[in-house]
Amino acid sequence: MKFAVATYGTEGDTRPLAGLCKALMDAGHETLLLADASTLGSARALGVPCAALAGDIRKALMPGAALSAAVREKGGFNGTAKALATIANANTASWMREVLDATEDCDAIVISGLAAFVGLSVAERRGIKAIGTGLIPITPTADFASPFLPPGKVPRWFNRASHRLVNSLLWRAFRKETNRARAEVCGLPPRKHVWTDHPMLYGLSPSLIPRPRDWPDTAQVCGQWTTSYPAWTPPPDLEAFLAAGEPPIYIGFGSMAGFDRAHFTGVLVDAIDGRRAVFSPGWSGMDTVALPDNFFKIGDVPHHWLFPRTSLVIHHGGSGTTHTAAGAGVPSVVLPFAGDQFFWADRLWKTGVAGKPLIGKNVRSEELRQSIAFAERDEIRARASELGARMAREDGPGAAVAAIEALMRT
């Protein structure tokens, strides 16, 4: 079978879909991954056919742009939703044309991220199956509130309804441009309500998110969509640094930008207090020249290779980084900035492998130092090691391929 896989977001949104594509290819299927141009490096490294969608997600995260503003402010639902809608609505018509052209001879479309409504519309136009995927659990459940809402602020009785409310509000922000493109590109009538009847496969670990019992049969938790990069070898200077002393602390915040970088650098240096650290500036634009010699600066290094070689991981709480740190069996210190990052920070805290979440853009040296000390406690390390061992037994890509093949037979 031939699948088009359409997503839009940061590197953390695209990389798991590249892993899923590779698993589908290994099972004998054809795939084409469509995503932002700056996030397709992992697909190329895996030999996954890919093509760029219109837009520039990296530009949207730079100071003064849509997502940067959401990070700089409170990082709450309203600001994040507005920023995401601004990005999607500016590109909806282009995405729909690109996905429509790419799916002429496909058997199904696998959809994710900001391109989901586009993919669902194109599947309707083509008369083929749409299979939803996600790295955030958005299927309504009474077990927990919507991941886009502040943890602990929603009364339990409102959990299920909170998912429906958030999903409806997101659809309202995307609806006008989606319906305009449906008419202009696909010749389809407008939709009044958000889609709810397509299957959803989640690239999430059941060790972190046990499948809610009140989910429909069409929603499944598969496990993280990971893959190895056999051609990748570490730079000699990184290998030498790792071998020269005790396992370092990893520090990296992925695609986060828009915060006070000079202040944040000072906080990190003060809290690390001379210990060995591996630092990944990601898309932040932080000035690594100002970092002391105990900070080893890295570029694009696979987290699955690096994290098991560290003592703990200081990160922003993105779904992919959260899963990889947990799967590596090391504790976390989480500094969320926006969106669902607060949900994942709360999840790691409740799982017992991290302390209470901090607020990324407002973090102070002393509280970061205390969180590091908490993560270094023997009982936290033991719990993290146990969690990593459980996750190592999961086969997320295999479970997803089996689920997709089963869906295609129905």
How far is residue 177's CA from residue 92's CA, in Å, rounded to a whole number?
7
| pLDDT for res 359 | 77
The mean pLDDT of the chain is 90
Backbone φ, ψ for residue 242 (5° rounding): -65, -35
Identify the weakest region by mean pLDDT among 48-57, 217-226, 245-254, 279-288.
279-288
Calculate mean pLDDT across residues 52-71: 71
Calculate mean pLDDT across residues 347-363: 87
| pLDDT for res 227 | 77
How far is residue 137's CA from residue 148's CA, in Å, rounded to a whole number?
10
> pLDDT class for 288, splitting at 50, 70, 90?
low
| pLDDT for res 324 | 94
Closest Cα to residue 308, out of 327, 335, 282, 295? 327
Q: Tokens representing 351?
A: 């799982």
- 279 touches 259 (CB < 8 A): no
- Its pTM stands at 0.92
How far is residue 334's CA from residue 344's CA, in Å, rounded to a whole number?
9
pLDDT > 60? residue 66: no
How far is residue 187's CA from residue 265's CA, in Å, rounded to a whole number?
51
Residue-wise DSSP of 349-387: HHHTSB-SPP-GGG--HHHHHHHHHHHTSHHHHHHHHHH
| pLDDT for res 314 | 93
> pLDDT class for 68, splitting at 50, 70, 90?
low
> pLDDT class for 85, splitting at 50, 70, 90?
confident
Core vs surface per residue 315-341: b (16+ CB within 10 A) or e: bbbbbbbbbbbbbbbbbbbbbbbbbbb
Select the more confidently predicted residue: 23 or 293. 23
SS3 assignment, position 263: helix
pLDDT > 90? residue 141: yes
Q: Please report where in the chains the tokens 């598969």 appear, as a residue.
A: 222
In sequence order, the β-bridge partners of residue 205 are: none
Calculate mean pLDDT across residues 336-343: 88
Per-residue pLDDT tens for 153-208?
999 999 999 999 999 999 999 999 999 999 999 999 999 999 999 999 999 999 99
Between the ranges 171-175, 283-287, 297-301, where is the mean pLDDT highest? 171-175
Identify the weakest region by mean pLDDT among 8-17, 160-169, 401-410.
8-17
How far is residue 169's CA from residue 82's CA, in Å, rounded to a whole number?
10
How far is residue 106's CA from residue 127's CA, in Å, rounded to a whole number?
10
> pLDDT class for 72, splitting at 50, 70, 90?
low
> pLDDT class for 287, splitting at 50, 70, 90?
low
> pLDDT class for 394, splitting at 50, 70, 90?
very high
